[in-house]
Amino acid sequence: MQVTSSVIVNGEFPDKYGKRGSQFSPNGMPTFSVPFEISGAPEGTKSYAVVLDDKDAITASGFVWIHWLISDLRRTSVAENESVSATDFTQGANSWASVLGKLEPAEASFYGGMAPPNCRHRYDLTVYALDTVLDLPAGFRFNDLHYAMQGHILDTAVVTGTYDV
For residue range 98-154, list pLDDT tens digits in order: 877 778 888 899 999 999 999 999 999 999 999 999 999 999 999 999 999 999 999
Strand partners, 49: 128
Q: Give helix then strand counts, H and E, for the chain.
A: 2, 8
pLDDT at 27 over 90: no
- Report CA 138 to chain centroid distance, whole Å: 14
Task: Encode pLDDT of 5-15 as tens digits.
Answer: 999 999 999 99
CA distances from 66 to 10, 12, 44, 108 (A): 23, 18, 28, 10
pTM to 2 decimals?
0.96
Is 2-163 CATH 3.90.280.10?
yes
Q: Check residue 96 and give its pLDDT.
A: 92
Task: Encode pLDDT of 88-100 as tens digits.
Answer: 999 999 999 987 7
